[in-house]
Amino acid sequence: MNPTGYFSGSFALVIMLLSGCASDSDVTPISYQQSASPVVNYALSLQGAPYHYGSDNPEAGFDCSGFVHHVYQHQGINLPRTTEELATQLTPVEKDALHSGDLVFFDTNGNTFSHVGLYVDNDNFIHAPSARTGKVLVSSLKNNYWQQHFVGVRRP
């Protein structure tokens, strides 16, 4: 350590940042080749877009339902705007029948349908998880956090 304490402070900051990311979700940076689904391809092109509660556009950022709403609207499909409306108005699908483009729902705060993402494939989904992660990213349904909070699938 140097006399200014810079090394120890920087090291602590790096450890804090890394542990914060690991505890929120299983972040999987994905570089997919073209999918058969234009919805999924467009969603994947938005990886890294900022998180912003209440927003549904790439410039300002997205919250989870705003992300899903924007992706489908870009394909000419108008879906409900909120997570709960998406869950109650779309057709339920069994988890073992997941297809690319389906919506996956989670209870992350005590409300049955409090988070939504868009299923990609191979147990991966893309979503705008939180202000804490700060961006649109791909996570795994196999991650313990997402497994414990999973509540269902809906098909647009």
Domains and CATH numbers, the chain: 26-155 (3.90.1720.10)
Asked if residue 127 lies in contact with residue 64, where contact means CB atoms within 8 angstroms, the answer is: yes
Catalytic (active-site) positions:
64, 115, 127
Give, to the nearest 10 degrees, the angle between helix 64-74 and helix 38-45. 130
Q: What is the pLDDT of residue 2?
A: 39
Query: Which DSSP category does 123 fall into?
Result: T
Q: What is the pLDDT of residue 7?
A: 35
Q: What is the pLDDT of residue 32?
A: 52
User: Rounded to whole angstroms, what are the CA distances from 144 to 22, 97, 117, 120, 149?
Assistant: 12, 21, 16, 18, 9
Mean pLDDT by 10 residues, the chain (156 residues): 38 29 41 73 97 95 98 97 98 96 97 96 96 96 98 98
Q: What is the pLDDT of residue 108?
A: 96
Q: What is the pLDDT of residue 8?
A: 38
Q: What is the pLDDT of residue 147?
A: 98
Q: Model pTM?
A: 0.80
Sequential DSSP letters for 71-121:
HHHHTT----SSHHHHHHHSEEE-GGG--TT-EEEE-SSSSSS-EEEEEEE
